[in-house]
A and B are shown apart, each in its own frame.
Chain A
């Protein structure tokens, strides 16, 4: 059940992507997503999709993991792009009753599907290859200029770290409570949908109770270690941009130029 849900999971490895500077990885992933959203023509989409695929290969993480983690959202995407098919404007190519399909409808649905697919893969790639530590540390570095306009970056980062940390803990806790109730004969799959929702109240309540207790204990522990006293903190690891990062930046730059350039090209016109 809940244990099967894998959320933003880091899969340790030693690929090129694993070794990249997290700062570069986060920024470039973000930038790639922006590019994905500007891509409109088939050629542009192909360029960015091929690049995404190369990224997946470069992460040396089995494609199976990608599919498992994105399967559900992907199915939803296919569904929504299927709907898009019927909402095109212009000359109909196909007509049957009230259903009309136009060239722009087809393009719309393909574009939507490809964009969301690419975005999911890019973010999955970032999640899989960056540990939570690196991720937050990287974010901290990226956000550090905000200090000058009065944002307390340290606190924001601590909040992100703790919330990320609490996701698996809460899932685990949910599982424990479900198991404890099941082993004492609670029947979670009985009756209609209303009954099922009702059978979740005895799970949610203790879950909240224990989560609050945990949060309280954590804040005590943090206070005991003098959290809140401001001082400049250092990190065990310091990032350094390497050749791989430069290479990736150049590559993403090229992709961007390619996508913008090809956005106005039509396959039909070239062929």
Chain B
């Protein structure tokens, strides 16, 4: 059974003016239980728009978003429940913050879900653990934190709602390597413990290759490919045409394969590359 399904999804901004731009066009896809989905695409290809459609923040012009086989817009009053079930961290989650303290900010979602005080406390502490935020931050103002810490507070604010689907819009953009690694680990950890669907938007092909079960490739609002990462990254020319790249290791291994005239096999992670080298070249 699919957790999220999109059928003929269309969405345009500024409808009916000369500024009309279509964010996504005719998207059809289905995401199965327990998967991590990576989303890549050139700037302006509609990734964030798709994320907001899944989350129910914007209403499709045409087509349907089905969550557990139920159209999320069937009943307008239910859309709040959809926000809880499909948690979304925005592209610059710094903007997502509005609480006076880190605690209040993370607790905002759970409180709106109607949980009791004690449950809220537990949720907040759990979420902070996932996001690797020390308890000493609880009473700090979120605006005084560093960029990486803000990012993690924003993610914790979503995780605290225990969403069935977690959408992360470029969660690691502009972070140092250690913070980035920390966030990726938190995501994987959350996935291991809950088994929930994660949709991960990123411009870093290496990260996408490393954690996703399936990859979506968007271009100009269209869904061009939706497949396992090995299959996606073996189509280098097509990706290049859309302004995308394959991971560095893939390029290296491809070149080596060509030089040594070995039968081509797509390698996308560092570990995969190590195995491949030992197998073929030693």
B98 adjacent to A187 (CB under 8 Å): no
Bound complex: CA of A209 vs CA of B98, how far in Å?
Answer: 9
* Interface bits A23-65 vs B (CB < 8 Å: 1, else 0): 0000000000000000000000000000000000000001011
Task: Collect the chain A residues with CB atoms within 8 Å of residue B229's CB.
Answer: none
Bound complex: CA of A177 vs CA of B108, how far in Å?
Answer: 13
A183 adjacent to B18 (CB under 8 Å): no
A187 adjacent to B112 (CB under 8 Å): yes
Bound complex: CA of A179 vs CA of B88, how far in Å?
Answer: 10
B97 adjacent to A65 (CB under 8 Å): no
Bound complex: CA of A207 vs CA of B57, how far in Å?
Answer: 20
Q: Does B21 contact A (CB under 8 A)?
A: no
Residue in B96, B143, B161 whose beta carbon sits within 8 Å of that of A180 in the complex: B96
Bound complex: CA of A202 vs CA of B111, how far in Å?
Answer: 14
B55 adjacent to A185 (CB under 8 Å): no
| Given contact pairs A186-B112, A187-B80, A187-B112, A181 touches B17 in the complex (Cβ within 8 A) | no
Q: Which of B82-126 contact A (CB under 8 A)?
A: 83-84, 87-88, 90, 95-98, 108-109, 112-113
Dominant secondary structure at the A interface: helix
Q: Does B171 contact A (CB under 8 A)?
A: no
Q: Does A205 contact B (CB under 8 A)?
A: yes
Bound complex: CA of A181 vs CA of B108, how far in Å?
Answer: 9
Q: Does A11 contact B (CB under 8 A)?
A: yes
Determine the interface band of chain A, counting residues with CB < 8 A from chain B. 20 to 34
Q: Does B158 contact A (CB under 8 A)?
A: yes
User: What's the nearest-Cβ distance from chain B to residue A168, in Å?
Assistant: 12
Bound complex: CA of A177 vs CA of B143, how far in Å?
Answer: 14
User: What's the nearest-Cβ distance from chain B to residue A180, in Å?
Assistant: 4
A180 adjacent to B95 (CB under 8 Å): yes
Residue in B95, B98, B113, B158 whose beta carbon sits within 8 Å of that of A202 in the complex: B98
B95 adjacent to A184 (CB under 8 Å): no
A185 adjacent to B90 (CB under 8 Å): no
Q: Does A242 contact B (CB under 8 A)?
A: no
Bound complex: CA of A206 vs CA of B109, how far in Å?
Answer: 17
Task: Collect the chain B residues with CB atoms within 8 Å of residue A184's CB.
Answer: 83, 96, 108-109, 112, 157-158, 161
B18 adjacent to A185 (CB under 8 Å): no
Task: Collect the chain A residues with CB atoms within 8 Å of residue B161's CB.
Answer: 184-185
B143 adjacent to A209 (CB under 8 Å): yes
- With A183-B90, A213-B143 given, name 18 new contacts (CB 8 A): A64-B16, A176-B90, A179-B52, A179-B90, A180-B95, A181-B108, A182-B83, A183-B83, A183-B88, A184-B109, A184-B157, A184-B158, A185-B108, A186-B108, A187-B80, A202-B98, A206-B98, A209-B143
B-side residues, CB < 8 A to A, are: 16-18, 52, 55, 57, 80, 83-84, 87-88, 90, 95-98, 108-109, 112-113, 143, 157-158, 161
A-B contact pairs, 6 of them (CB 8 A): A64-B16, A177-B95, A177-B98, A179-B52, A184-B161, A202-B98
